[in-house]
Amino acid sequence: MNIPCWPQADEREAELLRMVLESPQWGGFHPFIDEFERSFAAYQHSSHGISAFNGTVTLELALDVLGIGPTDEVIVPAISFVSTAAVVSRVGATPVFVDIEPRSFNVDPARVREALTPRTKAVIAVHFGGAMCEIEELNQICREHGLALLEDAAHAQGAEWSGRRAGSFGIAGSFSFQNGKVLSSGEGGMLVTSDEGFAERARSIANCGRQAGRSFYEHYRVGTNFRITAFQAAVLLAQFERLPEQIARRTANVKLLKGLLDEVRQITWQEQPAAVTQNPFYLLLGRLGGSISRDGFCRILSDGGVPCTPFYPHTLYENPAYREAACRVMPCPVAKDCIRDAFWLPHRVLLADEDTIRQIAEVIRNAARGAQRSGVPEVAAAEPIR
Ligand SMILES: Cc1ncc(COP(=O)(O)O)c(C=O)c1O
């Protein structure tokens, strides 16, 4: 099966990396960093970009800037990568886990409303797999209750709602450029924001408490060092040139694949609100119904050469960490169902050529036929997306 590998690089990455190597600045003050911050923030329809060494510290930085800490609660979805919740705990606040919607895998705004208390200070909204969540409704809830809305847009480079890009709705949006992401430098992250004061504080904290235009050895805040290297910026600039074309290819392939699988009723693909005008398709998510064994289905796909992950093994609050760490858990029946019946294909599958997409459809069709509960052992075929 001719499925592209990920990450991908060509002469362009090598050219920009060589420029860094031959320069006297390999660290966080090379002009490539400023160039990438400006270009990526503008692409996400935001005025400022503050890069950092991954998409976990960018979330932590945002909570720090917002002054969130002990006694505060932050609402997070029960389904996400662990960082969405762990950063809340790391700043001493309490994550409040709420359920997701059954079709979109994204946080359910009605469940967010139910979870509000006088201690609630913020909501972290994840655009899961690249499909934007109900961002306008969440914005409305946050406005009504004086809460900060932080977008965890780790999956959502290029994601768009009515022509407006992810990260530009909340006070800030946090992106990850980790190895498996659609824009990657192995590790990396960025906060985007259009709030001048937020940007100034975030940039200062991430750069040892310095202030723009002031002396290098004057530190105005107790900051830290989250700067990326010029090597990361060089790779990101090159990757960024390909992103629009890759999004277009994945979008076309999702249409083709779903069309070819139209008659396979046992699969319900992730739905997105009608207002979504672009999805980068970091993940192609689905749920299996009827008598299909999800783990058997994933095993048949993997054996057939189609990488497939049988979703997360548990909700965020069922991680061992949250047996100890303080949290509040709202009822999450949908999240628990998804743990049993959902799966995803990574975005590299969607970069394949048309013939390969047709072969993939055949493997999926056969898997849906073959994975009846009685026939296939329930063994997970997990392929982590890292
Ligand atoms: C939803 C979500 N948030 C945050 C992160 C953390 O990003 P990073 O791995 O760059 O720290 C990830 C990483 O996969 C993620 O999927």
Q: Is 80 in the pocket of ligand 1 (CB under 6 A)?
A: yes
pTM: 0.96
Cα 190 to averaged position of ligand 1 atoms, centre (Å): 11
- Write down the pLDDT at residue 193: 98
- Write down the pLDDT at residue 342: 98
83-90 vs 57-65: helix crossing angle, rounded to 10: 40
**Residue 285, strand partner residues:** 344
- Write down the pLDDT at residue 377: 47
Q: Is 189 in the pocket of ligand 1 (CB under 6 A)?
A: yes
Residue by residue, DSSP assigns 44-90 as TT-SEEEEESSTTHHHHHHHHHTT--TT-EEEEESSS-THHHHHHHH
User: In this structure, how many other beta carbons lie within 10 angstroms of the beta carbon of residue 256?
Assistant: 16
Residue 261 tokens read as 């699988």
Q: What is the fold of 11-239?
A: Aspartate Aminotransferase; domain 2 (3.40.640)
Q: Is 368 in the pocket of ligand 1 (CB under 6 A)?
A: no
As annotated, the residues of the chain forming the CATH 3.90.1150.10 domain(s) are: 242-370
Cα 57 to averaged position of ligand 1 atoms, centre (Å): 10
The answer regarding whether domain 242-370 maps to CATH 3.40.190.10 reads no
> Could you tell me the CA-to-CA distances from 203 to 26, 185, 207, 264 in Å, in that order?
19, 20, 6, 49
Which helix H or strand E contains 37, and what residues bound it? helix 31-43
> Could you tell me the CA-to-CA distances from 39 to 34, 44, 237, 350 in Å, in that order?
9, 9, 9, 25
DSSP state of 347: G
The answer to whether 135 touches 173, Cβ cutoff 8 Å, is no
The answer to whether 286 touches 344, Cβ cutoff 8 Å, is yes
**Under 8 Å CB-to-CB from 273, ≥6 apart: which residues?**
104, 132, 134, 161
d(CA 136, CA 150): 13
The answer to whether 143 touches 21, Cβ cutoff 8 Å, is no
Which of 178, 170, 190, 184 has its CA nearest to residue 40?
A: 190
Tell which atom from ligand 1 comes closest to the C-alpha of 188.
10
Cis upstream peptide for 320 (omega within 30°): no
For the chain, list residues with pLDDT below 50: 376-382
- Write down the pLDDT at residue 290: 80
Which helix H or strand E contains 242, and what residues bound it? helix 230-260
Q: Is 184 in the pocket of ligand 1 (CB under 6 A)?
A: no
Cα 189 to averaged position of ligand 1 atoms, centre (Å): 9
Q: Is 7 in the pocket of ligand 1 (CB under 6 A)?
A: no
User: In this structure, how many other beta carbons lie within 10 angstroms of the beta carbon of residue 341?
Assistant: 19
Ligand 1 pocket mutation pick from 57, 80, 89, 178 by most atoms within 8 angstroms of CB? 178
Which of 52, 31, 25, 30 has its CA nearest to residue 228?
A: 52
Residue 315 tokens read as 């909700």
Tell which atom from ligand 1 comes closest to the C-alpha of 178.
10
**Residue 225, strand partner residues:** 207
Residue by residue, DSSP assigns 182-217 as SS-SSS-EEEEES-HHHHHHHHHHHBTT--TTS-TT
- Write down the pLDDT at residue 291: 86
Whose C-alpha lies nearest to ligand 1, atom 7?
55
Tell which atom from ligand 1 comes closest to the C-alpha of 189.
10
Cα 123 to averaged position of ligand 1 atoms, centre (Å): 17
- Write down the pLDDT at residue 258: 98
Cα 177 to averaged position of ligand 1 atoms, centre (Å): 8
As annotated, the residues of the chain forming the CATH 3.40.640.10 domain(s) are: 11-239
Tell which atom from ligand 1 comes closest to the C-alpha of 54.
10
Q: Is 107 in the pocket of ligand 1 (CB under 6 A)?
A: no
Which of 83, 385, 51 has its CA nearest to residue 231?
A: 51
- Write down the pLDDT at residue 374: 53
